[in-house]
Structure 1
Amino acid sequence: MVQHRPHTTVVLAMSADGKIADFRRSPARFGSRADKAHLEKQIAASDAVLFGAGTLRAYGTTLTVSQPILLQHRMQEGKPAQPIHIVITHSADLNPEIKFFQQPVKRWLLTTAAGAIFWQSRTLSLTGEMPTQNFPSKFEQILVFETRTGKIDILAALQHLAFIDITRLVVLGGGELVASMLELDLIDELWLTVCPLILGGTTAPTPVEGRGFLSQLAPRLELLEVRPVEQEVFLHYRLQRLSGLDYLK
């Protein structure tokens, strides 16, 4: 079934042994300048970026478009200088004092009904004012899409994004978010940068967390590009859409 949603690309850097952070879940700053430029290029080509609360807590910031040529391309395409930055979190337990909330980007919150109430109450406790259209509690929009079990309805959220003309979405992690989107077949492409270090650790996060997939039912990838740049390798994959009969072969 064709899903009316944005074209979705995951962009992550990982160690040679497939870890996106060390066992302490420290900010993953082991990518080179080339990797950062690659990430910025992917962000610049998007209408919105999506990342989990864990990723935001680790970094405290988001990557903005700063290269003049990328800003010029966005302007020529009639886009704002920065894509929308969307934080997805069930609890909305975020620190409103981190640098992210001072960056020059539009910030949206994708959460549950309970998460929205929690964030609004936190805003009230800090400012003494309830969020309004003119004072949006550090988020320009709070999107609530919830399943019957109280989880975030990611498919409904992405369909809403498509409805409001967000056609290209970049996902920046973490592994739990990527896993949940793969389970729902909501990923179209992956860019993985393999960096020249080994992190190890049974608890160190990987690009895809969650429960995992049985090998015969695992998402299959088509390799589109392999590009070595100095000591790193950039891998570009496309998700294969297989029918049930294909899985049985």
Structure 2
Amino acid sequence: MPRPHVLLSAAVSIDGHLDTRPGEDRLLLSNAADFDRVDTVRASADAILVGAGTLRADNPRLLVNSPERRAARVAVGRPEYPLKVTLTGTGALDPGWKFWHHGGDKLVLAVGEEATEKARANLGDLARVQQIPAGTVWPAALDLLGDAYGVGRLMVEGGGSLHTQLLEGAYADELHLVVAPLLVGQPDAVRMLGPAQYPGGPRARLRLLEARQIGDVVLLRYAPKDRSTEQR
């Protein structure tokens, strides 16, 4: 099976932050209407991927919350919930996190043998743990998800390191970016993207698919693989 269609989903402040500085209470960037939109996108996905750092910082459940959307999945022969996936380079995963105790199947992609052994020891039967090679993390992860798990549509909900890697490697097919009317301003706040060698360099323009106001936030949908250096 081909690699999944990779959709990155994030909400940011006007100055590009996912959150305030580490250790502070989580910053809610979106609104109720947009959370419902995200729930629709989750319901459309075969799998939802989040980094271990985001699990550690936010302790999310990552569910499809609408009973109607879950029922619609079941009605067409899909699992009630998308497969929940996390990526770890250390295997330092807390078995008490909500991620393991809600929703359907869970999968850990562990980079290297040491992280794999540690993840299995920490989690027991809470999740399936599969090793992927350190040198080809994303090609191996996407091939595995497509071939072994039948994932056709992969939703990536962060954090910033994953978004950066997937955009830098040209693995992302779609970007859903919600901009909230907030200015964080803290120099050590959590940013969505870090320094990277992005395809095409700083003059490459991504194709805009949609711009939509949702209450006091704006959804921007881009096609990251479709870039132009045309001056405008």
Residues 155 and 184, structure 1, Cα contact 8 Å, conserved in 2 = no
Aligned to 1:229: 214
Structure 2 gaps, min length 5: none
- How do residues 72-151 of structure 1 correspond to structure 2 at under 5 angstroms? 72-112=71-111, 113-123=113-123, 131=124, 136=125, 138-139=126-127, 141-148=128-135
Using the size of structure 2 for normalisation, the TM-score is: 0.88
- The equivalent position to 1:188 in structure 2, one of 162, 169, 173, is 173
Identical positions, percent = 28
1:53 aligns with 2:52: yes
Between structure 1 and structure 2, the one with the greater Rg is 1
d(CA) in 2 for partners of 1:240, 1:118: 36
Aligned to 1:212: 196
**How far is 1:196 from its partner?**
1.6
**How far is 1:108 from its partner?**
0.7
Q: 2:14 corresponds to which letter in structure 1?
A: A
- The equivalent position to 1:8 in structure 2, one of 6, 9, 16, is 6
Aligned to 1:128: none
**How far is 1:98 from its partner?**
2.1
Q: 1:120 corresponds to which letter in structure 2?
A: R
Residues 13 and 180, structure 2, Cα contact 8 Å, conserved in 1 = yes
Aligned to 2:38: 39
**How far is 1:84 from its partner?**
0.6
d(CA) in 1 for partners of 2:199, 2:70: 42
Specify the SS of the correspondent of 1:153: helix
Residues 147 and 153, structure 1, Cα contact 8 Å, conserved in 2 = yes
d(CA) in 1 for partners of 2:122, 2:212: 46
Specify the SS of the correspondent of 2:41: helix
d(CA) in 2 for partners of 1:72, 1:27: 31
Aligned to 1:27: 26
d(CA) in 1 for partners of 2:108, 2:95: 12
d(CA) in 2 for partners of 1:185, 1:76: 34
d(CA) in 2 for partners of 1:58, 1:200: 20
**How far is 1:49 from its partner?**
0.6
**How far is 1:215 from its partner?**
8.9
Residues 120 and 129, structure 2, Cα contact 8 Å, conserved in 1 = no
Q: 1:234 corresponds to which letter in structure 2?
A: L
Q: 2:45 corresponds to which letter in structure 1?
A: S
Using the size of structure 1 for normalisation, the TM-score is: 0.83
Aligned to 1:197: 182
- The equivalent position to 2:224 in structure 1, one of 226, 239, 242, is 239
The 1:247–1:98 alpha-carbon spacing in structure 2 relative to 1, beyond 3 Å, is: same
**How far is 1:82 from its partner?**
0.2
Residues 224 and 236, structure 1, Cα contact 8 Å, conserved in 2 = yes
Aligned residues: 227
Runs of 4+ deviating beyond 3 Å: 213-216, 246-249
**How far is 1:5 from its partner?**
0.8
Q: 1:121 corresponds to which letter in structure 2?
A: A
Residues 217 and 247, structure 1, Cα contact 8 Å, conserved in 2 = no
d(CA) in 2 for partners of 1:227, 1:71: 25
